[in-house]
Amino acid sequence: MPRNPYEFEQKVKAYIKRCGWAQAETARRLNYSPEQFNKWLRDVNRIPDTAIAELSDLFDLVPEELAGIIRFGRL
C-alpha cells in the first residue's frame, strides 16, 4: 500500500522547525540547492539514498526513520 506522499514532507519540515532553520538553510547544510531539496520534499523528484543518510545524520536519526515513510517504489 502506498504511503501518504505528504508524510515525508511534514516530518522533515517538523525537524527543520525544531532546529530553528529555514528550508533553504537546511538544503545548504546538506550541500544541495534549495530548489532540489524542495523537489524532494514535494515528491517531484526521487530523493537519493545518500541524501536520506545525510538528512538523517543532520537530524540525528537513523536513516530508516526517514526512509520508512517514503512511498513504496520511490526508494
- pLDDT tens digits for range 16-47: 999 999 999 999 999 999 999 999 998 899 88
Domain boundaries, the chain: 5-67
Specify the CATH class of 5-67 in words. mainly alpha
3-state secondary structure 42-62: CCCCCCCHHHHHHHHHHCCCC
- pLDDT category, 14, cuts 50, 70, 90? very high
Give the pTM.
0.77
Quick check: 53 and 67 in contact, CB under 8 A?
no
